[in-house]
Amino acid sequence: MAPTIDWDKLRIFHTVARAGSFTEAARKLGLSQSSVSRQVRAVEDHFNVSLFNRHARGLVLTYEGERLFETAEAMADRLAGTEQMLLEAKGQPRGRLRITTMASFGAYWLAPRLSAFIEAYPEMDLELILDDNDLDLSRREADVAIRFHGSRQSELIQRPLVVVHHHIYASPDYLARKGEPLTAADLDRHDLIVYGPETPDALRDINWTLTIGAEGRPRRPVMMINSTYAVLQAIRSGLGIAALPDYLAEGDDRLVRILTHIDCPAFESFFVYPQELRGSKRVRLFREFLVDRVRRDAANL
């Protein structure tokens, strides 16, 4: 049986692949360039493959190099996560926690509440990544996610967080100009703003105003916008009517909630993280913080 590849050599290969050059990798590792080159050559000899194509502008991974880099990246992430958990076990949590969620929820609800968490755990470095599309947690594009749909990936852990309610809103100017719809069928004669043209998983079924109570074919919107925040601004401007999550509309005197008798859809949210962070103190404390905050704000969600 062939000997197992030495992790130290694999770590050096991983650093070279990230740096894109032997010179930069040697600087980061505190080694000579010749030593770094020799270690990478040893990895290539072990697998009997070329890992890099050498170009004047730097190094480019071969197909085999890309596959090995993916494995080394996963190993490095897991090792870093385990190291972090061991350090956390005996003291205050520290290190980076990358959080991803939808842009509107992250900007309007989550970001303003994070100061309390940062004050409680000053040794932690939070990174908030706002994206209406799901980042790949299994590839560690983020550490944890708040998602508005269930995950189908078995390698991810998901815990229910909060149910977010949606209702239909318009501006006072719009209602003065066009009148207020009294039934869902009345929406056939109003200007509707919806999310689009493409709807990511996080916003699945968000355009229910086009079909609820519709007489015949689904309604044609006056505008499609691929940003929930921009939909909010369009309503405020008097452009039309749209459904919004209640956390965006709460306390806004430029919005009027209409068709209050309609049973509008609600979207369950989940706190999601990869299996390898199951024992992370950072993840546990952040989840506990979120659960406490959503309980306080339940009436507005």
Q: Where are the domains of the chain?
A: 7-87, 91-301
Q: How confident is the model at residue 81 (pLDDT cuts 50, 70, 90)?
A: low
Q: How confident is the model at residue 1 (pLDDT cuts 50, 70, 90)?
A: very low
Strands, E assignment, the chain: 52-55, 58-61, 95-101, 124-130, 144-147, 156-170, 193-195, 223-225, 242-245, 256-258, 266-274
* CA–CA distance, 39 with 248 (Å, rounded to integer): 55
Give yes or no for residue 111 having a pLDDT over 50.
yes
**pTM (2 d.p.):** 0.69
What pLDDT digit, counting tens, does each position of 223-255 carry?
A: 999 888 899 999 999 999 999 999 899 889 999
Asked which of 5-19, 39-53, 86-100 is least confident by mean pLDDT, the reply is 86-100
Annotation: CATH topology of 91-301:
D-Maltodextrin-Binding Protein; domain 2 (3.40.190)
| % residues pLDDT > 90 (the chain) | 41
Query: Is residue 109 within 8 Å of residue 296, measured between CB atoms?
Result: no
What pLDDT digit, counting tens, does each position of 168-224 carry?
A: 999 999 999 999 999 999 999 999 999 988 777 666 678 999 999 887 788 999 999
Pairing of strands 193-195, 223-225: parallel
Q: What's the confidence (pLDDT) of residue 256?
A: 96
Annotation: CATH topology of 7-87:
Arc Repressor Mutant, subunit A (1.10.10)
Give yes or no for residue 73 having a pLDDT over 90.
no
Q: What's the confidence (pLDDT) of residue 55?
A: 79
SS3 of residue 161 by DSSP: strand
Asked which of 4-8, 24-28, 142-146, 175-179 is least confident by mean pLDDT, the reply is 4-8
